[in-house]
Amino acid sequence: MPEQNQVTAQQILDALTVIIDPDLGRDIVSLGFVKEIKICGGQVGFDIELTTPACPVKDRFKKQAEEAVLAIDGVTSVNVSMTSQVRGREQVAPEELLPGVKNVIAVASGKGGVGKSTVSVNLAVALAQTGAKVGLLDADIYGPSIPMMMGTSGKPQLNSENKIIPIERFGVQIMSLGFLLPDDQAVVWRGPLVAGAVKQLLTDVDWGELDYLVVDLPPGTGDAPLTLAQTAPLTGIVIVMTPQDVALSIASKSVAMFRKLEEGLKRPMPILGIVENMAGFVCSNCGQYHEVFVGAGGAAAAERLDVPFLGAIPLDPGISASGDAGVPAIVAAPDSPQSLSFHEIAGRLAQQLSITQMPKG
Ligand code: ADP
């Protein structure tokens, strides 16, 4: 029997049930997030293990947990450690592609020039900045632009098993067809060639252990993005669009293509959400946000298409300038409105993945 006023682990767990994960709709105790409870007199310590280090409600959970446990009679101090264990594809067979990669996220767009590569690069760096292990595969065979945007021009080395070692930049492991092609060589790839080249990028590269591999797909709804999405073991899709795409229903075509593909594949490949790029601009004089295409919002489009809305990124000349200079906007101007948007979108994306991977019931 515990002495009077001796704090018990059960009391701590009971107190923590008031904290509900807004995305998963359950309390953090029944979700199994509370770990390593240590009690020494009135001093209490425990871990809250989240499903991603990019969790947007991390700070709120910590504060709520401290308050809830401090309110227990006999508790004098609380030490909460926020940790994370990214969940991923279940039971990856050894022969399957990318066995060490927990999540493969493809970034797609209905047409070229909407900022798909810019979003891929900045989301990859944003996820890496949370402490996650992140890779970035430039599979945009028509115009591999990731090496330029990430400021990498070297040729990757081979390891002792003759596998290509990705190039690390800004904490992200990068691989691009652009590394393997002679400079300025235009390539016309057809379906079988695309599948072969992509398989090679997935199998012949030493990706190691990754929480997230972001794949920059070729644009459009044609043969190349389709073959690629079929070849790579994708865990989810992000669709980048501009307000114009909403008006012209280009984004809907993209959504329809991936939904059809998922049906055919007979394995889950959820659309994790829509990112609206070049949505408006923040005036450098007055600091106010102005929409460019009034009435054509990404949020409304996402609702209509029944997919999550991950967020909007303003139009900003700094984004293209930093991309051209080989330093992603999120590194070049970390406190800018667009960088804050990228961080928020990365958090929502990671949450969406966690939601889709939570066992049902
Ligand atoms: P995609 O991969 O869809 O073809 P890119 O990411 O290459 O598009 O972007 C096309 C051009 O638009 C690039 O010059 C890029 O720097 C620029 N760009 C992308 N997003 C923005 C933005 N939010 N504000 C300003 N320029 C942008």
Residue 232 · residue 104 · CB < 8 Å: yes
Give the Å distances, CA to CA, from 214 to 105, 197, 206, 236, 315: 5, 17, 15, 10, 23
Strands (E), 296-358: 309-315
pLDDT in 10s for each residue of the chain, 361 residues = 445 568 999 999 999 999 999 888 899 999 999 999 999 999 999 999 999 999 888 999 999 999 999 999 999 999 999 999 988 766 445 457 788 899 999 999 998 899 999 999 999 999 999 999 999 999 887 778 899 999 998 888 989 988 899 999 999 999 987 787 666 555 555 556 666 777 788 888 999 999 999 999 989 888 778 888 888 888 999 999 998 776 668 888 899 999 988 888 877 889 999 999 988 777 777 777 777 655 557 888 899 899 999 999 988 888 888 888 899 999 999 999 889 999 999 999 999 998 888 766 5
Q: Which residues contact 234 (CB under 8 A, 6 or more apart)?
A: 104, 105, 106, 215, 269
- Per-residue pLDDT at 91: 46
- For ligand 1, whether the C-beta of 145 sits within 6 Å is yes
């090496």: which residue's tokens? 147
The C-alpha atoms of residue 181 and residue 185 are separated, in whole angstroms, by 7
Measured from the Cα of 111, ligand 1's closest atom is: 3
Burial label for 24, CB within 10 Å (0-12, 13-18, 19+), is middle
User: Which residues share a beta bridge with 237?
Assistant: 106, 271
Q: Whose CA is nearest to atom 12 of ligand 1?
A: 115
- The total of other beta-carbon atoms located within 10 Å of residue 215's CB is 26
Measured from the Cα of 320, ligand 1's closest atom is: 16
Q: Whose CA is nearest to atom 27 of ligand 1?
A: 320
- Per-residue pLDDT at 98: 84
The C-alpha atoms of residue 155 and residue 194 are separated, in whole angstroms, by 21
The terminus-to-terminus CA distance of the chain in angstroms comes to 35
- For ligand 1, whether the C-beta of 336 sits within 6 Å is no
The C-alpha atoms of residue 129 and residue 239 are separated, in whole angstroms, by 22
User: Which residues share a beta bridge with 176?
Assistant: 138
User: Which residues share a beta bridge with 281?
Assistant: 290, 315
For ligand 1, the distance from its centroid to the CA atom of residue 302, given in whole angstroms, is 21
Closest CA to 39 of 76, 71, 67: 76
- For ligand 1, whether the C-beta of 242 sits within 6 Å is no
The C-alpha atoms of residue 191 and residue 201 are separated, in whole angstroms, by 15
Q: Ramachandran region of residue 343, left (φ > 0), alpha (ψ -120 to 50) or beta?
A: alpha
Measured from the Cα of 323, ligand 1's closest atom is: 16
Helices 250-265 and 298-305: crossing angle, nearest 10°? 40
- Per-residue pLDDT at 216: 94
Measured from the Cα of 338, ligand 1's closest atom is: 23
